[in-house]
Structure 1
Amino acid sequence: MMQPFLPGLTMPSRPAEIRDARTALAHYPNMTTEDLCRYAKHLGASAELFVDSLFMRLGERAFPMPEHERCDRALILPNGTPIRIQVKTRHAVTINGDYVFNLRQRSERGATGRGPYEATDFDMLAKVILSENVVRFTADWQHRQVIHASEIAQLRRDPRASLDAALARLGHTDAIPGGWDADLDLAA
Structure 2
Amino acid sequence: MENFNLEAFASSPSDLPKSAYVDLLLFISDIKPAVRIGVLDDVRAFKLYLWAIDFKYFSKIDNDGFVFISKLNNIEHLIQIDQSNQDHTEELGKLLGYPHCCIKKISEIGESNIDLYEENVVYNWSFENDFQLINPKLYYQGYSLISHIPCSPTCKKSLLIARKTLSVIKNNQSHYRFSNFKKWLSH
TM over 0.5: no
Give 1 or 2: higher strand fraction: 1
TM-score, length basis structure 1: 0.22
Task: Please identify the structure whose Cα radius of gyration is greater.
Answer: 1
Give 1 or 2: higher helix fraction: 2
